[in-house]
Amino acid sequence: MLIAHVLAAAVAPLLVRRWGRNAFLALAVVPGAATVWALFQVPAVLDGDAPTESVAWAPEFSLRLGLHMDALGLVMTLIAAGVGAVILVYCARYFEDSEPGLGRFAGVFVAFAAAMLGLVLADDLIQLFVYWELTTVFSYLLIGHSTELKESRRAAMTALTVTTLGGLTMLVGMILLGESAGTYVISEIVAAPPGGTVVNAALVLVMIGAMSKSALFPFSLWLPAAMRAPTPVSGYLHAAAMVKAGVYLVARLTPAFPDALLWQTMALFFGTLTMVLAGWKALRQFDLKLLLAYGTISQLGFLIALLGTGTRAAALAGLAMVVAHSLFKAPLFLLVGVIDHGTGTRDLRELSGLRTSSPTTFWITVLALASMAGLPPTAGFAAKELAFGAYTDGGAADTAVLVAMVAGSVLTVAYSLRFLWGAFAVKEGVPATPMHAPGPLFLAAPALLALLGLLGGPLSSAVDPLLALYADSVPLAPGAYPTHLALWHGFELPLLLSALCVVGGLVLFRYRHGVVWLSNRLAFVEPDRVYRRMLAALDTLALQVTGQTQRGSLPVYLGTILVTTVVAAALPLFAGRLWDAQTPPVRLWDHPVQLIPAVVIILTCLFTLIVRRRLFAVILVGMTGYGCAVLFYLQGAPDLALTQFLVETVSVVVFVLVLRRLPAHFSTPALKGRRLWNLLLGSATGALVASMTYFALAGRQAESISDGYPALAREAGGENIISVLLVDVRAWDTMGEISVLAAAAAGVASLMFVRRRAQPRRTAPGTMAVSVATPPRPTDGQASLDLGGLRTAPERLHIRPQWKGAWLPGAEALPTHRRSVIFEAVSRFLFPVVMVISVYLLFTGHTAVGGGFAGGIVAGLAFIVRYLAGGRYELYATAWVQPGALIGTGLALSTGTALAGAVYGGDILAGAALDLHIPLLGHLHLTSSLVFDTGVYLLVIGLILDILRSLGARVDEQIERDAAHADEEAARTGARRSAEEVAS
């Protein structure tokens, strides 16, 4: 069912492009089929055989994909899918084919329905949170559908900010709850709920998340702002999705914690307070959608209070009210859309006489409003009677809750009458509002839902067994008897209270002008204004904190980090007196020859603090890396030594490329005290890291896992332990590392290319194609070069030079003083040899020294040498493949190899080996890790090429452009002086 929704969301834009708005009719089949399927599950759920699906996701972390449909899940599925299907049919006549972004809207709407279905069926807290956040994202996209309007974008951002804040708070509570229970499976937590202070804190955090999602006070401000969304979104969001997520979460967890005082108190206090405040505010609204929006907030407070009470009667009434609310709130929003579509306005001050001009719309509205006001014989009446009865036999607390609910219900009747009067009555001094007659399909959706709300009252006894399954999971109140959902309970107190609500509502409506006046006078606080001021204050605070802490000095940042590290780690190190433990003696060296690279490393570090030229400092830092590579080699780790050597070489080249745009010397000489401080801090950090490493290794209690590495390597079909670790045993780590490399390549390019990057063009064989993003303009009097028979100035070398037997054709574009024939010849000879060596390292990495990473760096060094010898045009000619294509191909190869094991029934990243005997070539040992390593190889080459194009070719262009501008400026200055001399 979920997969069908996802597929429908994916193809929705294509269907809308082909069929226009009628595509919504096809899309409605998916949630409609889900509704029919859910109805067929009713007998199984009634028999206690709830459909359940569970797939292991990450068992080591107790994560799984679990779906569970009990009575509550079934009811919520029928609401989410059923109302969604009806509203999709409504969309087929609400929108026009010319609506901008209609395909995107259709896809997001169906995806929204899928996320809501996943949320109400999820049987895992983490999975529920994923769907929870998906509804937040999709609602953000739907509310901001009219992207060209600032108000729509602001409303979407408000909804996203408020609900995301609550969602993250809820996530902390879910983690606390799951860890306390020892499981994240919701059905297991409900069956055996944990207890304690941590659980109480977790419930408070979860309740905050539910309140933010269901727009309870003080999180109510986002829901009225969401009225900027198209009317179908408002109808679905208010009646069946998004806001019902918080209600569902409270209903889901209350059976596990019916006696949790904080949970119950928050639900009752904020629920009843929201019900009264929002209902009162609805009485002064003139926009029909805003009136319904505040009515929704009021009803949501009612639902949270009922479902959070923790008694069977309240739970039964709460679930019945959830169903009734969906059946009257969705059609009311859809009818507002009909009115707005036919008259062009939703302002009740401008509407007059629609009862006569559109009687069908009027009577459908009457049915829906009767259920919202709790009038018999509707579903709203039956649910409200049961809700009042749940608090009639309690103590003082129940009496206070009952009074608040009655007051809220009085307001509900009043704003229901205000809606009916405002939309359809004939108003004095207001001309009759012309209205286009809505089509039958346009009215079919609200008519069906309103009719179901009307039938819900007489059929309430038939629905009671299903709803009672959920209510039975909540304990009975002391001394109470089981109640049942029915249309008639006799002449009891709830019936009297219902009559009181109707009378009170009529009185408030009779004096509606005075109520609006008083409500405006009492509106001291505007939530939207408070929200904007809070955001402005947060921005100001962030600006002040940033200004105080981010001083723009890299040494200050690094020094702060190192000082914090030394202090935070040294205190426990010395306080614990780890040196008193039975630790083995420190081994200074395995062979005295190790002292040579160690001394070199120390001396180069010291000299780095003294030199004033940036280039010297970079070379000295590179020497420390080479010294580490020698130490690796002397320790018997040739793989690490090779990789360290290659990485250090590339790093030095990158530093040198960047240094071309920096001054040759450091900006200001450091004071002697500063140099001493740097030396002291560096020494302390090094000593600390060395000590922590020693004590960590010396304190080992278990047997080292490295003893099993040789066996693992042979099992994977390799002899090189390091390579086997990287591409087999710990291939997940390598996957993460190459993903970081791909992100780094994108970051380097984005920092350098603020406009279209230079792109080589494909040409016929034997030529090389070059394109410069913005070629500099030629200067007068400059000599031109002959490349490929074309005469052109050096600054305009966006040409296709042909091969004419030169060692490096691109070097023709370099100035004479930058060329070296020996370097060019050697580069030409060495390039194919080095590339063959890189491929050799790739193929031998599984059994000898090498690997995809080392081979990729060697190939990258070959391109670096070619670039240094021939310039950027030679780089374009040699490496005509785009770096992004290499990076993407490499990542796809590695990922595809990783997923191949799962496709063929094994595990992800499962290895496989194949031995072949090929004549003339001999024995050939092939492994799946070779394909994985090939992806790493291509990705590393792409990264180095991207760096060369960004920090090499791009900087070359900038230098040449600056030189050209300087020459032009000098020429203009000379011409001006000559003119002045002639004039004088």
CA 737 to chain centre: 21
Asked if 507 and 411 touch (Cβ cutoff 8 Å), the reply is no
CA 126 to chain centre: 15
The residue written with tokens 């452009």 in the block is: 961
For 473, phi then psi, to 5°, come to: -80, -10
The 10s digit of each residue's pLDDT in 836-866 is 999 998 888 777 888 888 999 999 999 988 8
Residues facing 66 on adjacent strands: 54
Q: How far apart are CA 384 and CA 362, in angstroms?
A: 24
* Residue 432, both tokens: 């009759």
The residue written with tokens 């401000």 in the block is: 221
Q: How far apart are CA 53 and CA 67, in angstroms?
A: 5
Q: How far apart are CA 340 and CA 346, in angstroms?
A: 5
> If you ran DSSP here, which 8-state letter would residue 520 be given?
H
Q: Which residues of the chain have pLDDT under 70?
A: 61-62, 477-481, 523-525, 576-584, 668-671, 717, 751-807, 900-915, 920-926
The residue written with tokens 């996943």 in the block is: 118
For residue 448, which of 368, 357, 509 has the smallest C-alpha distance? 368
For residue 212, which of 148, 117, 291, 133 has the smallest C-alpha distance? 133
Asked if 115 and 140 touch (Cβ cutoff 8 Å), the reply is no
Asked if 258 and 307 touch (Cβ cutoff 8 Å), the reply is no
User: How many Cβ atoms from other residues are within 10 Å of residue 40's Cβ?
Assistant: 8
For the purposes of burial, counting CB atoms within 10 Å of the CB of 907, is it exposed (0-12), middle (13-18) or buried (19 or more)? exposed
Helix%, strand%, coil% for the chain, nearest 5: 70, 5, 25
Q: How far apart are CA 99 and CA 645, in angstroms?
A: 60
* Residue 864, both tokens: 């670096």
Element holding 25 (H helix, E strand) = helix 23-27
* Residue 465, both tokens: 């067994």
Q: How far apart are CA 703 and CA 721, in angstroms?
A: 18
Asked if 944 and 864 touch (Cβ cutoff 8 Å), the reply is yes
Bridge pairing between strands 52-58 and 63-68: antiparallel
CA 397 to chain centre: 43
The residue written with tokens 């900006």 in the block is: 667
Alpha-carbon distances, residue 841 vs 330, 510, 636 (angstroms)? 66, 89, 18
Asked if 328 and 368 touch (Cβ cutoff 8 Å), the reply is yes
Residue 88: predicted pLDDT: 94
Alpha-carbon distances, residue 355 vs 352, 365, 413, 420, 423 (angstroms)? 8, 10, 20, 10, 8
* Residue 150, both tokens: 């600032």
The residue written with tokens 């194949």 in the block is: 914
For residue 63, which of 189, 162, 191, 183 has the smallest C-alpha distance? 183
Asked if 943 and 887 touch (Cβ cutoff 8 Å), the reply is yes
CA angle 77, 78, 81 (to 5 degrees): 75
Longest dimension (CA), the chain: 116
Q: What is the CA radius of gyration of the chain?
A: 37
Q: How far apart are CA 249 and CA 321, in angstroms?
A: 15
DSSP per-residue letters across 785-841: EEETTEEE-GGG--S-PBP-S-SSGGGGGS-GGG--HHHHHHHHHHHHHHHHHHHHH
3-state secondary structure 596-614: HHHHHHHHHHHHHCCCCEH
* Residue 881, both tokens: 């493949």
For residue 946, which of 665, 745, 688, 653 has the smallest C-alpha distance? 745
Contacts of 305 (CB under 8 A, 6+ apart): 267, 268, 271, 272, 275, 401, 405
Helices assigned H by DSSP within 351-459: 354-357, 359-373, 379-389, 396-424, 440-455
Q: How far apart are CA 671 and CA 931, in angstroms?
A: 54
Residue 757: predicted pLDDT: 44
Residue 799: predicted pLDDT: 39
Element holding 53 (H helix, E strand) = strand 52-58
3-state secondary structure 760-788: CCCCCCCECCCCCCCCCCCCCCCCCEEEC
Q: How far apart are CA 748 and CA 766, in angstroms?
A: 32
CA angle 352, 354, 360 (to 5 degrees): 165
For residue 556, which of 670, 701, 471 has the smallest C-alpha distance? 670
Q: What is the separation, in whole angstroms, between the first and last Cα of the chain?
A: 91
Residue 671: predicted pLDDT: 67
For 465, phi then psi, to 5°, come to: -60, -40
Contacts of 558 (CB under 8 A, 6+ apart): none
3-state secondary structure 161-201: HHHHHHHHHHHHHHHHHHHHHCCCEHHHHHHCCCCCHHHHH
For residue 98, which of 18, 15, 13, 20 has the smallest C-alpha distance? 20
For 886, phi then psi, to 5°, come to: -65, -45
Asked if 331 and 370 touch (Cβ cutoff 8 Å), the reply is no
What count of Cα atoms within 13 Å lies in the side-chain half-sphere of residue 242? Answer: 32
